[in-house]
Structure 1
Amino acid sequence: MLKTNNIMKLIFLPILLFFLFFLIMPLLYMFWQSFKVGNTVTLQNYLDALKNIEIREAFFNSFKVSFGASILTTILAFLLAYSVHFTTMHRQTKRLVQIGITLPMLLPTITYGFVLIYTFGNQGIVTRLLGQPLFTIYGYNGLMIGYVLYTMPVAFILMQNSMQYIDKRFLLVSMLMHDTALRRFYHTIFRPMIGTIGGAFILTFILSFTDFGIPASVGGNYRVIATELYQAMLGSIVHFERGAVISVFMLIPAVLGVMMLTFLERFNFQYKQVGQSELVQHRLRDGLFTMYAIVCVGIILIIFSTMFLVPFTKGYPYDFGFTLEHVQNVLAERDLTKVYMNSLLVAMLTAVFGVVITFMSALLNARTPLKGRKGLDIASMITNTVPGMVLGLSYLFFFNGSSLKGTFLIIIACNIMHFFTTPYLMAKNSLQKMDPTWEVTAALLKDSWLKTVVRIILPNIKSTIYQMFSYYFLNAMVTVSGVIFLVSTKTMLVSTRIKELQHFAKYTDIFVLSIFILCTNLIVKLGCDYIATRKEKVKEISK
């Protein structure tokens, strides 16, 4: 029988090779390519890129719109999280808000743009109701709205999770001390949330700056860095070196963001014990925040309702008669159903293998004394920093000409790397909270380490594993930027096929496929949430 330390090394080695082969080497190779002109190593590519007016304009535009969208999103998400946690809003209304705000997460970002066009465009629903368009949806306005819709769920979840751990007893103490409302708000709510607010702003900025789906649909003539990278690599004239340089430029905000997050950690603090107390009812405050939350959810539902209206009308916007013809046409096309099945296959395999690799990585880091395990934290930080388009492009460079190019394996590996950080941290945090003496006790009873993992640790982390599975599956179904450079005709996915259908103006097909993705993701998410919640309840009852 292998010794415990050898078993750990046997598990650690393939994980290490996986990160080396599918993360470190492709990124280093892409970075090396950015310095090459033919067979010569030079800085000329960077000098040409800096002199290029289009690239400079795209970088500035991306920074401008992402910065504005991040500020707006952070404010809106903070107020929504406040509404849920610090007002006496009805429980069912809170539940509706939590579900409604996270709805956009279940769709590809490229769909957001088409939804916005059919809502606010010249023939959009809102435009037809008002008689004229409120604003031009293409360019800056469309990007701003799209980025807010895209990043709002992430920022809201981040804020909401942090507000759960704010001790509400301090609000009562502040009231007894006759503090002003502004002083009470600052010291008991805003001050403990500064680190999270900063983190939400940085995260939403990076997500907006590196997104490709929204600019691809409503960007118009407004240049952004993500579309410049796409044009450099998949445009009429391919510029590999320029694409590599743009990818390096896209890493700059992400690296700065990580540095700022490290700085913001000093503002985080913990209570020795989080106490809960009943919130004091304030009719005006509660009424205003309830109305605000309902309006936000209502706007999201109205915008995305067009996705359900257009495919079931005979000829939008001229004939609103109900029909299932468009859905039947999509189901009848073998090509589109094959693409949907490809997406299901990739999402399922990404979730299964992603959970295995992520769980074993977190397990080795949190529950073993293995040397080198902290390198997994570094890998987690790298995957969190590298945008999906940059990672996909590095794969295109590194695996070009190999038998792996254009295969499902490359797409799955890219998805696992791209979305590794969040499931890894979920598993690591759960494992660290468990009793650290379990392995020692099991060893004294002559149980092997693997038996301890299977019999004791796994049953206690099942709910987290279901959440990890859900996270991987949902993101693999909706990702565009991470796989746009990797798919082939045989491995086409729904999210990338939507981009292709755009060129043929088949918007009804786009919406039908988007509904398929939404329904699939809803089933998986609700199923995983139900199982995870049930496991937690059973665990509490057993205690």
Structure 2
Amino acid sequence: MGTRVISHKLQNPGHPIAWEDRLLLSVSLIIPLAGLLLFFLYPLFLVARRSLIGSDGRIGIDNYISILSMSNMKTVVSNSLIMSGATTLLCVLLGFAIAYALQRTRLKVRWFIRGALLLPLLAPSLVQALGLIFLFGRNGLINQQTGWDLQIYGFWGLLISNSLYALPQAVMILEASLRHSDTRYYDAAQMMGASHWQRFKDITLPNAKFGLISAAFVIFTVTITDFGNAAVIGGNYRVLATEIYSQVVGQMNFNVGAVIGMLLLLPTLVAVYIERVSSQRQFGGHSESAIPVTPVFLARRDIPLGALVYFSSFMVYAIVLTVIYASFVKLWPYRMDLTLANYNITLAGGYAPLKTSFTVSLIAASIGVLALFSLVLAQRRLPRRWAKPVYLLAILPVGVPGLVLGLAYVLSFNISGSILGMLYGSALLIALCNFYHFHSQGFLTMVTGMRGVPASLEETVTCMGGNALHGLRDAILPFMLTTLVAVFFFLFMRSMVTLSAVIFLISPQLSVAAVSVMRLEQAGFTTQAAAFSVCIMASVLVAMGLLKLVLHGISKTRYAVKAPS
């Protein structure tokens, strides 16, 4: 009964609905949808509209024609596509090698590899670029010690830093693709005399093709929209992300910025659409009765593969640990004696941006959990003809780059004398921008958690005379608690390290930690930028530790409750 009763009543108006149920459904649906309309669709509409307004105030495509006819714009677009394509190719190949090594071989000390994949997620994207500069820059450690003249700025430095930042996401997708393979196909092929290479070519690669497609388009999207690495190590290699920043912040040309934002949005939406289709096909093809493949040792495969994987992991550790070490160095690379002076940060607002990031992240996580839970709860109770449009609207933000969303917020809320203008320059607006930037990922996680709530529990509450509020308290919330905590910390951690979504929303009075790192580096205070990066990573690590403690406490509580029965 439970959910089915409510859905039946909604589809059949002749059956009365209790006012508590009607109130719960209305509130849980209207408020999140109003938030999506006001803080997502409306700002995007203004960006699209602004891109069509010419210098004479007339609406047309003159801005697009003038932008695309600029000689440097063709170079910027081609640079973005080439960089994103090269990063995608490198990450997919290396990511597949790492995923295959983790799933199909018996490599030792896997924690070393897992740790390397975790590190890029703990800090803003520009930390990888900062580490490369400490090692291979003009005053980098390698150049100083060897006398080499390595040129890390430009294409190659940006390619490496982008790849290091995006690699963990590729590995996660490809691991999921390999994890669901069925060993019976391999056993049958072996009995028919197929070699290891034939089994890999005819079974492994075809089964992983949708995972490879998904990983490719996710990496392409992440790379073409990233701002941090391009701003720090890109040098003269201009890309669309830095061009938007230059037009909006440097020249205050919002019309041109809006046009570039729309150009940046198009390939991202295409990539997201293809990734979604491939993901659905990938997961739809798995069998629940599949028998996992048992890893075996094959020397001619595992030794070179292990060397590649361990070397890649070592490079990630070397870059991040170099940033940590540099944060304690007095003057890199000339005075290498250790000091804590770099942590006495007085420039770029001192540690105020870090406190602001904490505040913003807590607000984003709190609002996000409430809004997402309410939306998923309402979607669960809606008839299918209404639930599907709500679902599509909820996952739409995943296709909008952070830079485009941030620019949209400037155009929407930087308006004096209006109610919306009161939000501009506040921590609340930055928190809302962060939340809607990561809205889709949180929503999909909530949907997965909600599907795990047994329908029989709600039926039991209904049979005992309980209403929707009782079902929410006694049936849904206890089972959703782990998901709620996970989504809270996901939104908190992503808000702590994001840069592109908030770069347009900061002001001299209000900034965030990731922006302070960029400002310190651009001002030449690289060791202080490293120190600030370490503070961000430490904060995110503490948050992850708290997440594990909370989840462990929840699991122990559940076990204690179930044990007597």
Tell me if TM exceeds 0.5: yes
| From 159, 165, 168, the counterpart of 1:144 | 159
| From 283, 289, 309, the counterpart of 2:305 | 289
Bigger Cα displacement from structure 2, 380-389 vs 446-455 = 446-455
Alignment match, 1:318: 334
Q: How many residues align?
A: 537
Structure 1 residue 359 and structure 2 residue 373: aligned?
Answer: yes
Structure 1 residue 107 and structure 2 residue 126: aligned?
Answer: no
Alignment match, 1:205: 220
Tell me the distance in 2 between the aligned counterparts of 1:345 and 1:101. 27
Structure 1 residue 150: Cα displacement: 1.2
Tell me the distance in 2 between the aligned counterparts of 1:240 and 1:514. 31
Tell me the distance in 2 between the aligned counterparts of 1:529 and 1:161. 22
Alignment match, 1:42: 60
Are the aligned partners of 1:65 and 1:140 in contact in 2 as well (CA < 8 Å)? yes
Are the aligned partners of 2:80 and 2:224 in contact in 1 as well (CA < 8 Å)? yes
1:18 partner amino acid: G
Structure 1 residue 322: Cα displacement: 1.7
1:87-106 correspondence to structure 2 within 5 Å:
87-90=105-108, 93-106=109-122
What secondary structure, in the 3-state scheme, does the structure 1 residue paired with 2:330 have? strand
Change (3 A) 1:368 1:19: same
1:65 partner amino acid: M
1:417 partner amino acid: Y
| From 502, 522, 528, the counterpart of 2:541 | 522
Are the aligned partners of 2:127 and 2:320 in contact in 1 as well (CA < 8 Å)? no
1:357-506 correspondence to structure 2 within 5 Å:
357-369=371-383, 372-401=386-415, 402-506=421-525
Change (3 A) 1:187 1:447: farther
1:151-202 CA deviation, whole Å, 9 max, x = no partner? Answer: 1011112222333322334333433332121221134422222111101100
| From 31, 37, 55, the counterpart of 1:20 | 37
Structure 1 residue 454: Cα displacement: 2.4
Are the aligned partners of 1:213 and 1:480 in contact in 2 as well (CA < 8 Å)? yes
Structure 1 residue 524: Cα displacement: 0.9
Tell me the distance in 2 between the aligned counterparts of 1:312 and 1:426. 39
What secondary structure, in the 3-state scheme, does the structure 2 residue paired with 1:41 have? coil
Structure 1 residue 139: Cα displacement: 1.0
Alignment match, 2:3: none
2:34 partner amino acid: L
Tell me the distance in 2 between the aligned counterparts of 1:398 and 1:334. 27
What secondary structure, in the 3-state scheme, does the structure 1 residue paired with 2:194 have? coil
Change (3 A) 1:466 1:163: farther
Tell me the distance in 1 between the aligned counterparts of 2:307 and 2:85. 27
Structure 1 residue 82 and structure 2 residue 97: aligned?
Answer: no
What secondary structure, in the 3-state scheme, does the structure 2 residue paired with 1:491 have? coil
Bigger Cα displacement from structure 2, 142-151 vs 154-163 = 154-163
| From 343, 361, 375, the counterpart of 1:347 | 361
Tell me the distance in 2 between the aligned counterparts of 1:189 and 1:450. 48
1:69-93 CA deviation, whole Å, 9 max, x = no partner? Answer: 1010011111111111111223xx1
Tell me the distance in 2 between the aligned counterparts of 1:141 and 1:439. 57
Structure 1 residue 131 and structure 2 residue 150: aligned?
Answer: no
Tell me the distance in 2 between the aligned counterparts of 1:249 and 1:333. 35
Tell me the distance in 1 between the aligned counterparts of 2:302 and 2:314. 18
Are the aligned partners of 2:226 and 2:241 in contact in 1 as well (CA < 8 Å)? yes
Structure 1 residue 263: Cα displacement: 4.5
Root mean square deviation of aligned Cα: 2.2
Bigger Cα displacement from structure 2, 525-534 vs 12-21 = 525-534
Tell me the distance in 2 between the aligned counterparts of 1:272 and 1:289. 30
Structure 1 residue 494: Cα displacement: 1.0
Tell me the distance in 2 between the aligned counterparts of 1:167 and 1:460. 31
Structure 1 residue 369: Cα displacement: 3.6
Tell me the distance in 2 between the aligned counterparts of 1:540 and 1:58. 57
Are the aligned partners of 2:85 and 2:220 in contact in 1 as well (CA < 8 Å)? yes
Alignment match, 1:225: 240
Tell me the distance in 2 between the aligned counterparts of 1:63 and 1:231. 19
Tell me the distance in 2 between the aligned counterparts of 1:167 and 1:532. 31
1:446-466 CA deviation, whole Å, 9 max, x = no partner? Answer: 122222222222222222222
What secondary structure, in the 3-state scheme, does the structure 2 residue paired with 1:403 have? helix
Are the aligned partners of 1:365 and 1:428 in contact in 2 as well (CA < 8 Å)? no
Structure 1 residue 538: Cα displacement: 6.5
Change (3 A) 1:279 1:508: closer
Bigger Cα displacement from structure 2, 251-260 vs 149-158 = 251-260
2:77 partner amino acid: F
1:458-510 CA deviation, whole Å, 9 max, x = no partner? Answer: 22222222221222111101111100011122221011122222332111211
Are the aligned partners of 1:87 and 1:289 in contact in 2 as well (CA < 8 Å)? no
Are the aligned partners of 1:463 and 1:533 in contact in 2 as well (CA < 8 Å)? no
Tell me the distance in 2 between the aligned counterparts of 1:115 and 1:375. 44
Tell me the distance in 1 between the aligned counterparts of 2:483 and 2:197. 38
Tell me the distance in 2 between the aligned counterparts of 1:539 and 1:163. 32
Structure 1 residue 22: Cα displacement: 0.2
Are the aligned partners of 2:453 and 2:480 in contact in 1 as well (CA < 8 Å)? no
| From 234, 247, 253, the counterpart of 2:249 | 234
Structure 1 residue 368: Cα displacement: 4.5
Bigger Cα displacement from structure 2, 115-124 vs 414-423 = 115-124
Structure 1 residue 137: Cα displacement: 0.9
Tell me the distance in 2 between the aligned counterparts of 1:306 and 1:267. 39
Are the aligned partners of 2:162 and 2:223 in contact in 1 as well (CA < 8 Å)? yes
Change (3 A) 1:530 1:168: farther
Structure 1 residue 279 and structure 2 residue 298: aligned?
Answer: no
Tell me the distance in 1 between the aligned counterparts of 2:311 and 2:467. 56
Alignment match, 1:252: 266
TM-score if structure 1 supplies the norm length?
A: 0.93
1:325-372 CA deviation, whole Å, 9 max, x = no partner? Answer: 222x22x67931211111111111111211221222222223544863
Are the aligned partners of 1:213 and 1:481 in contact in 2 as well (CA < 8 Å)? yes
Tell me the distance in 2 between the aligned counterparts of 1:251 and 1:314. 43
Alignment match, 2:10: none
Are the aligned partners of 1:467 and 1:529 in contact in 2 as well (CA < 8 Å)? no
What secondary structure, in the 3-state scheme, does the structure 2 residue paired with 1:222 have? coil
Tell me the distance in 1 between the aligned counterparts of 2:469 and 2:202. 48
Bigger Cα displacement from structure 2, 211-220 vs 183-192 = 183-192
Tell me the distance in 2 between the aligned counterparts of 1:532 and 1:172. 39
Are the aligned partners of 1:367 and 1:436 in contact in 2 as well (CA < 8 Å)? no
Tell me the distance in 2 between the aligned counterparts of 1:353 and 1:370. 26
TM-score if structure 2 supplies the norm length?
A: 0.90
Structure 1 residue 382: Cα displacement: 1.9
Are the aligned partners of 1:8 and 1:370 in contact in 2 as well (CA < 8 Å)? no
2:544 partner amino acid: K
Structure 1 residue 2: Cα displacement: 2.3
Are the aligned partners of 2:98 and 2:171 in contact in 1 as well (CA < 8 Å)? yes
1:450 partner amino acid: L
Structure 1 residue 508 and structure 2 residue 522: aligned?
Answer: no
Change (3 A) 1:510 1:71: same
Unaligned runs of 5+ in 2: 1-17, 416-420
Change (3 A) 1:527 1:290: farther
Bigger Cα displacement from structure 2, 267-276 vs 313-322 = 267-276
Tell me the distance in 1 between the aligned counterparts of 2:555 and 2:294. 24
Alignment match, 2:7: none
Alignment match, 2:11: none
Are the aligned partners of 1:352 and 1:469 in contact in 2 as well (CA < 8 Å)? yes
Structure 1 residue 414: Cα displacement: 0.6
